[in-house]
Amino acid sequence: MAKKYGRNISAFEEIRSQGFQAKVNNVMVTLTFPSHYAMATGRNVENHGLVGNHFYDPSMKKTYSYTNNYDNIEPEWFEYGGSEPIWATNERHGHRSSVFEWVGSEARVNKRLAFATAGVYSTAYSLTYRIDRMLDWISSDDFNLAMLYYNQPDSAGHRYGPDSNEVMDAIELCNTGVSYLLERIKETPSLNGKTNLIITSDHGMAQTNEKAWIVDVYSVIKDLDVILDESPATLGIWPNGSTTVQEISEAIDKIKPGGFTKYMRDRIPDRYYFKNNPRIAPIYLIADLGWMFKTTDSDYNHLYGMHGYDNEKPEMNPFMVASGPDIMQFSDRQSFNQIDLYPLVCALLGLDKPNQIDGKIDRVLPFMKNPPSDSFVNQFRKYADGTLMP
């Protein structure tokens, strides 16, 4: 899209030409925190437990929210079902990981913290600063894994819409950062020709209409006692106090049809892999593409792009480019499962005792120039399916 508008994406094209580009089949729900942790753990959302950007845990009787940085470092949020992020797996194998603001990296998970981190999330750091810190870390012989998150073009997409000039500006800014990264790698003897590079995203973005495409939930639940797991595109509703699930369901049924689908938790489609988890609310609403839920008496202001919608919608699918000495080259666009990032990184780094995951090592072997041995793959499968425990 950016190239169609005459924008510079030369750094992304350089990586693609030396490796491959892929459409990413991402997890549901297509929100930032669930998607990032799916990539990090190799698990679908119902199995890694970070079920939203904002959600209630009935056993902990607490709410996780992306806005509460210092409350989010409690390990319990990230250890559901024995989840383990790739940087912890790498550390468990005796290596050192460096992680700059990836979801979950601020917490000590299963008593492991990445050896080098940036701490809690902050928007204060420029992309160039993040790249410099990451390269300072990984250029040391002690590190073999570096991970970095940057919030653009997501932030611009929300405020101005996915096809806006501001998003195109943000993409060019990212391209400048990637170009700088490639130059720094080439200038560093310990990295030049030895670095596998993967660039991807957590989700796509859809155009919204904050005046017309609105589902007014507030008007039917304002007199009920409820706890909301909310984003503009998804809404989990918990009964609180004397309010019952039945009362909530009947209230939602009063909303004018159109713009969303209501699910009881056990009726959420199996293909979402998003229902078998006690952190998912008993009533869950998913907006139609571009629609948003209104849950207060205030209107949205300057919100022209959104995600969180059905992961089969093309607008929700992220991209991926990768290249390096161990990465295969493909001239045509590939397809890559988001939960397979974990097994791909494990295979590239020689980590043969993964955590139990949903990702499949067999799906990532075709992307490797020198796939691991049969004995490695066989052992990996046994750990990945839970037959063996790390």
Beta bridge partners of residue 287, listed in sequence order: 260
Strand, helix or coil for residue 295: coil
| Cα 309 from chain centre | 14
Surface-to-core class of residue 297, CB atoms within 10 Å of its CB (0-12 exposed, 13-18 middle, 19+ buried): exposed
pLDDT tens digits for 66-96? 888 777 789 999 999 999 999 999 999 999 9
Identical fold between 10-204+319-384 and 214-303? no
* Separation of alpha carbons 45 and 30, rounded Å: 10
Q: Which CATH architecture has domain 10-204+319-384?
A: 3-Layer(aba) Sandwich (3.40)
Q: Where are the domains of the chain?
A: 10-204+319-384, 214-303
Confidence class for position 299, pLDDT limits 50, 70, 90: confident
Residue type, 127: L
Backbone angles phi, psi at 129, to 5 degrees: -60, -45
Tokens of 189: 């003897």
> Class for domain 214-303, per CATH?
alpha beta
Answer whether residue 141 shows pLDDT above 80. no
* Separation of alpha carbons 282 and 289, rounded Å: 22
Nearest residue to 320 (alpha-carbon basis) of 6, 25, 1:
25
* Separation of alpha carbons 77 and 72, rounded Å: 7
Residue type, 373: S
pLDDT tens digits for 347-372? 999 999 999 999 999 999 999 999 99
Confidence class for position 121, pLDDT limits 50, 70, 90: confident
What percent of the chain stands above pLDDT 90? 87
Say how many C-beta atoms besides its own lie within 10 A of residue 76's C-beta.
Answer: 14
* Proportion of the chain in helix, strand, coil states, percent, rounded to 5: 35, 20, 45
Residue type, 217: V
* Separation of alpha carbons 182 and 139, rounded Å: 13
Q: What is the pTM of this model?
A: 0.96
CB 334 within 8 A of CB 328: no
Backbone angles phi, psi at 247, to 5 degrees: -65, -40
Q: What pLDDT, on the 0 to 100 scale, is given for residue 123? A: 78
Nearest residue to 141 (alpha-carbon basis) of 170, 178, 183, 98:
98
| Cα 53 from chain centre | 10
Q: Among all residues, which ones are annotated catalytic? A: 32
